[in-house]
Structure 1
């Protein structure tokens, strides 16, 4: 088979979200296949692979062919509560025994932050590059994932707005995003772990040169701005960036694997019946350097 990548919506959104065929991610890829995936990511920002019956080890092996991974330290579960290795993010509603967690479980309430628009690991000094999410078991309805093209959102700003945002630096923390939902019960160790970090509001893609907005619900301030003004401004930008013309909504099928570039997208999960199993496994490539080291 020969790898092929086509736009999912060639009429309305030919530039965003591609569907990949002609590749089996359970085996080691050739250098040409790896290069094609990177090129597809540069073009589309989001890639969808269907019918990829991956184990965790196979997902890790595929991910490592694309670049170095970050450690899965973004959730609130204690080490003894984890059911997966520290290389795999457990994006599920299951405990370590494979049982659905209670509706008021602290881990579930913290995880509801995934329903907000965000970019993975923007709350880390060195944020995420690619995220790779594998659907192992999905609910009967709901639980879709939406992706917003932050390149197109930047392009659609007027010139005055582009000048205003170009050099701004934001402060990101999971304390901010969870606080939006009323989740504020953090330990002192967690508050230190998620102390705010600095990220550029505008990023230039190192391969394509395109500029994009770097937004997330984790962004709770702008350096040099009063907090209320900063948050109102960031909310306006998020409303602009998540207009329907910029958004691809992925309806999951079992064993889909979806990749996205956190440097040029935001995403959010959608609600589903909390009594049904939603078992998703995410591996995440690190960006290797801070956004502050990549001048726009």
Structure 2
């Protein structure tokens, strides 16, 4: 049975059927899924009871694995996973929910803010693929915003104003907005701001998108208060309900999204209960702007 994709939202999001992710993809299947990502920006695969190795093999159809270094504060020796996947659970190495005062837990709460994965890297991520291994009984929906439709809905004056703006992105901005200010000197170096365009053009179809994220905390050539007000206004615009899809997780769902065209966030959930979510991240291939030292 060939791959079929059913659109779930007026602007984006496709529900995929006709593929078993426990098995290697054919060239045609990989091509159809990538084309679906270009069109829908978010794809939902239900009932995919996959291993870490199968999830990573699926992701590698679409590019290289992103190096996870610099994306969290977990020491390698304390990591729960050793398969190359990003651990976006609320679990420690012992498999139990992290304590409420855990530094890692407090840092990870930043995932509840609207963001684009790895916008804090000089070359930001292409695709993210998140697999639900244990679903939390209360809360934990993931929301996605279509940044193409949000850009299209801007007035011409605003489009012209922001066309060439360059933002500074850092994990310290997003975590700082929640009051997390506890960094080692090594982490401060890892999380130094990088530069990203505020408006991106997709390489496959040429549509423009807003490139927003909670990691963005400054705009070159603007005072910080002015920049943050503009970014706040754009975020409010881009996350209106008409641009947002809410995914309520079921066990073994896999959701795949294009970080170049979307933002997302997880909603609050019962942190005393386990939530095991594992992400494969496909590396981007080019910066959005030539990098220089962001002050």
TM-score under structure 2 normalisation? 0.97
Aligned with 1:45 (options 32, 41, 48): 41
Aligned to 2:13, the other structure's residue is in SS state: strand
Matched, 1:188 2:188: no
Give RMSD over aligned pairs: 0.8
Partner residue of 2:259? 262
1:198 aligned residue: 195
CA distance in 2, matches of 1:266, 1:86: 26
Residue in 2 aligned with 1:149? 146
Give 1:267-278 correspondences, 5 Å limit: 267-278=264-275
SS in 1 for 2:279: strand
> Which residue of structure 2 aligns with residue 59 of structure 1?
55
Match of 1:69 among 46, 65, 78: 65
Partner Cα separation in structure 2 for residue 159 and residue 140 of structure 1: 44
1:21 match: 17
Distance of 2:181 and 2:140 partners within structure 1: 25
CA shift for structure 1 position 86: 6.6
Residue 6 (str. 1) matches residue 17 (str. 2): no
List alignment gaps of at least 5 residues for structure 1. Answer: none
Match of 2:293? none
Deviation at 1:92, TM superposition (A): 0.5
Rounded to whole Å, the distance in 1 between the matches of 2:196 and 2:16 is: 31
Partner Cα separation in structure 1 for residue 7 and residue 138 of structure 2: 25
| Alignment check: 8 A CA contact 2:52 2:83 kept | no
The equivalent residue for 1:85 is: 82
Structure 2 regions of 5+ residues with no counterpart? 291-295
Q: Matched residue of 2:35: which SS?
A: helix
**Cα pair 2:168 2:219 within 8 Å, conserved:** yes
Quote how far apart the aligned CAs of 1:87 are: 2.1
Contact (CA 8 Å) 1:70, 1:87: kept in 2 or not?
no
Asked whether the 8 Å contact 1:148–1:265 carries over to 2, the reply is yes
Name the CA distance, whole Å, in 2 between partners of 1:68 and 1:79. 21
